[in-house]
Chains A and B, each alone.
Chain A
Amino acid sequence: QSVVTQPPSASGTPGQRVTISCSGSNSNIGSNTINWYQQLPGTAPKLLIYSNNQRPSGVPDRFSGSKSGTSASLAISGLQSEDEADYYCAAWDDGLNDYVFGTGTKVTVL
């Protein structure tokens, strides 16, 4: 089991705002930057957010990240059908000396 937890699923209709939470501890999210990855069905993960709230070139500004204490969140505003994917948060864990991925959240567009 991962030490960083996410809700297994989230959903919304097109145009809605969806938020995904990521809960960790002082040794991971509380001490280090968090990154978010998007994995479309049948494809490799893609870096979506780095350093808590930075978007790589080409990532729409509909995606935003934030962090507070030992938790983080990813928001998708103006949800689109192509956003249907699995989303993972991730951070280095100083206590485990390990890079930990969250449990993953499947986003469904209704």
Chain B
Amino acid sequence: QVQLQESGPGLVKPSETLSLTCTVSGGSIGSYYWSWIRQPPGKGLEWIGYIDYSGSANYSPSLKSRVFISVDTSKNQFSLKVRFVTAADTAVYYCARRVEAYDAFDIWGQGTLVTVSS
């Protein structure tokens, strides 16, 4: 059974870079797309982007200029970097597996809260 687990700092200073990693266990990172989605406290879900095992990525236009997603198949991990963060980037960040055939996210990590504050 595939499971996802986010990891990374829970506090980031304004203007710095937010970095998170998602570890995939119970299955290979190949053959799927791997995504990041976030949810500000008390608000709705926002898609950030996704990447496949070969490193081909697609980003939300609203975040594209500040976001980078990478994959490390040797470690069965993929990562997220968000540059120049502000308080508006404070959110629970989820990693999820995307099933291309349905364009749906079928497996999610538990999420990790990242707060942007000095």
Contacts and interface: CB of A to CB of B under 8 A. Distances in A.
Given A88-B45, A99-B60, A101-B45, A44 B94 contact: yes
A47 B103 contact: no
Most buried by A among B47, B62, B94, B104: B104
Contacts, number: 57
Given A96-B61, A99-B60, A47 B105 contact: yes
Interface in A20-58: 32-33, 35, 37, 43-47, 50-51, 54, 56
Interface residues of B, number: 19
Question: Which interface class (under 10, 10 to 19, 20 to 34, 35 or more) fits A?
Answer: 20 to 34
B44 A2 contact: yes
Given A98-B60, A98-B61, A88 B44 contact: yes
A11 interface: no
B44 A104 contact: yes
B62 A98 contact: yes
A44 B47 contact: no
B104 A47 contact: yes
B72 interface: no
Given A99-B47, A104-B44, 5 more contacts: A43-B110, A47-B106, A51-B104, A88-B45, A101-B44
